[in-house]
Amino acid sequence: MTAWTVACSACERRADPAPLDALCQECGAPQLARYPVLENAADLREVWRNRPAGMWRYRELLPLRPGEEPVSLGEGGTPLLELPRLSERLGVRCLLKEEGGNPTGSFKDRGMSAAVTRAVHDGAPSFVLPSAGNAGVALAAYATRAGRPATVFVPDDTPDAVAARCQAYGADLRMVPGLISDCGRQAAAFAAETGAFDLSTLREPYRIEGKKTMGLEILEALDWRPPDAVVYPTGGGTGLIGTWKALTEAAALGWIEAPATRMYAVQAEGCAPVVRAWVAGDDRAAPWRDAHTAAWGLRVPSARGDALMLHALRASGGAGVTVSDEAMCEAAGRLGREDGTAVGIEGGAVVAGAEELVRRGDLRSGETVVLFNTGNLANYGWYTT
């Protein structure tokens, strides 16, 4: 029995699930996994609850065949924390999905665990990735865990801390003059030359599957009563798309009503292609010129998942919002002083975004809102604006 199938997110063309490091051959859009288990609607919730914490407890909804072991470093199973002071100040019940405790300090670990697992079982000899930060660090760790070499292409202005962390996990780090798009071209050329598996965002369908488990964990923690809204710091969009996919699959299984949760994307004022497209009512996001923000995770001028993100915002009744770098840093600092949680700058962006959404009336008194802290403050060492 096939555990899952893969189809294009735009034209629905079916693809062979393995090995899969390509976009749709028909139309070039990203491909996504589909699970037949969704059709027989078995109630897995009790089974999951009795397994050890961590993202692989949801294995029936992950790309793992019976008998296969995941490549895991203990990712997932992160807390959903009440934020009493922020909640009181905003008049909205704010919960923090705290991803900073993942093995390499960010939610990127979930995606890499799923994607590296699948690729290794399908015979990938080595890995390559263009990255400006946490994804490269996560790949370095998971590739090493799987016993495969990883090559990470980063812009040559990448902070030393990131470069050092990639190397600490044994990756071959290549500095490229220019931007992340230049790194992408070099990574693709390297993959073609060496046979390395290219794990670029949404080039393969399984990093999304790992990110999806954040949504499943939130639902499980809330006893399958979906929050009114989630606010997400949006770069390449895998977390936003993955969380929406979790909600959609839980609705398909009849565990929640659909569409039950509004999705809000927060981007930086200096790089907001998705918010701009949302405001204009477009289905696709044009590349952002001269992208600049201190939040590296949000410095993604052009994303392969643009159509999927815009669909999630629209289908859920959510919205996009931008915040300044200054507002992100201030909000991150306030959260530390008020509620004792030290979030990364992208987490600060989410808090500042939620404050703005309350001012705009998008988040209403008494609602339950999940805010994502995607990375650990220690990944930065300091804030710069």
* Half-sphere exposure in the Cβ direction for 203 (13 Å, CA): 18
Q: Which one of the spans 26-34, 90-98, 235-243, 252-260 is the region binding ligand PLP (CB under 6 A)?
A: 235-243
Residues 6+ apart with CB under 8 A from 90: 354, 355, 358, 363
Q: At closest approach, how far in Å is the CB of 105 from ligand PLP?
A: 9
Helix (H) or strand (E) holding 209: helix 206-221
- 179 neighbors 156 (Cβ within 8 angstroms): no
Q: Any contact of residue 76 with ligand PLP (CB under 6 A)?
A: no
Q: Any contact of residue 348 with ligand PLP (CB under 6 A)?
A: no
Q: At closest approach, how far in Å is the CB of 202 from ligand PLP?
A: 9
C-beta of 146 vs 162, nearer to ligand PLP = 162
C-beta of 246 vs 253, nearer to ligand PLP = 246
Residue among 342, 58, 29, 70 at smallest CA distance from 211: 58
Both tokens of residue 360? 């705009």
Q: Any contact of residue 136 with ligand PLP (CB under 6 A)?
A: no
Residues 350-379 that bind ligand PLP (CB under 6 A): 374-375
Q: At closest approach, how far in Å is the CB of 302 from ligand PLP?
A: 12
**Residues in contact with ligand PLP, total (CB under 6 A)?**
18
Q: Are strands 31-34 and 5-8 parallel, antiparallel or unpaired?
A: antiparallel
> DSSP letter string over 249-314?
HHHHTTSS-SS--EEEEEEETTB-HHHHHHHHT-SS-PPPTT---S-GGG--SS-TTHHHHHHHHH
Q: Which one of the spans 139-147, 230-238, 312-320, 362-370 is the region binding ligand PLP (CB under 6 A)?
A: 230-238
- 305 neighbors 237 (Cβ within 8 angstroms): yes
Burial label, 25 (beta-carbon count in 10 A; 0-12, 13-18, 19+): exposed
C-beta of 25 vs 181, nearer to ligand PLP = 181
> DSSP letter string over 46-112?
HHHHTSPSSGGGGGGGSS--TTPPP--SS-----EEE-HHHHHHHTSEEEEEEGGGSTTSBTHHHHH
Q: At closest approach, how far in Å is the CB of 133 from ligand PLP?
A: 6
Cα–Cα distance for residue pair 60/73, rounded to 1 Å? 19
Q: Any contact of residue 318 with ligand PLP (CB under 6 A)?
A: no
x/- mask, ligand PLP, residues 236-275, rule CB under 6 A, reads xxxxx-----------------------------------
Q: Any contact of residue 233 with ligand PLP (CB under 6 A)?
A: yes
Residues 98-127 that bind ligand PLP (CB under 6 A): 106, 108
Q: At closest approach, how far in Å is the CB of 37 from ligand PLP?
A: 25
Q: Any contact of residue 54 with ligand PLP (CB under 6 A)?
A: no
C-beta of 229 vs 332, nearer to ligand PLP = 332
Q: Which one of the spans 40-48, 85-93, 232-240, 354-362 is the region binding ligand PLP (CB under 6 A)?
A: 232-240
Interface with ligand PLP by CB under 6 A: which residues? 106, 108, 133-135, 233-240, 297, 344, 346, 374-375
